[in-house]
Amino acid sequence: MLTNGTVEEIKTVSLVTLSLKDTKRWTLSNGTSDGGCSVPSVVEWEDNQLMMMTACDDGRRRVYRIGDKGESWTEALGTLSRVWGNKRGGEAKAVGSGFITATIGNGEDNRKVMLVTLPVYSSKNGKRNEKGVLHLWLTDNTHI
């Protein structure tokens, strides 16, 4: 984009739209993902906290922890963010993914987990497989 004779680089970001109590009034979060991160998947995680997985221009998927009703955004660097890569040298945005939470256990010892689906591309005899195999990842946000 050209502004006042200078070129500005425009990057896409992801954000959330939320309603605190009344579904008649929606607001945009103040925080956003890093520039170049889009195609978000969002799940509710812990007390008033959201987790957002985005596909970024650098070929990685970044996961953000969103708290304080959209005010604070922190990249989940400890375990989740940047673990999953891109499609065989292409953009991560070209690869479909899914992100959902579930509670597993026997009723007394329940644990909340996240399930992530992403295709994985393997090699056989030195040749890259053209079709990805869908992998299901399970995490408790501490271990994958």
Tell me 132's DSSP state: P
Give the pLDDT score at 98: 77
Q: Which residues pair with 136 in a beta bridge?
A: 117
- pLDDT at 131 > cutoff 80: no
Give the pLDDT score at 129: 66
Dihedral (CA of 88, 90, 91, 94) sign: negative
- In angstroms, the Cα distances linking 119 to 82, 86, 98 are 15, 9, 10
- Measure the CA–CA gap between 46 and 127, rounded to whole angstroms: 43
Give the pLDDT score at 55: 84
Q: For residues 36, 30, 41 and 66, what is the CA-based torsion angle, rounded to 10 degrees?
A: 110
Threshold 0.85, pTM exceeds: no
If pLDDT is split at 50, 70 and 90, which confidence band does 17 have?
confident
- pLDDT at 114 > cutoff 60: yes
- pLDDT at 121 > cutoff 80: no
pLDDT tens digit sequence for 46-99: 777 888 888 888 878 888 888 877 778 888 876 666 566 555 555 555 556 778
CB–CB of 38/14 below 8 Å? yes
Give the pLDDT score at 135: 82
Over residues 125-143, mean pLDDT: 76
- pLDDT at 22 > cutoff 60: yes
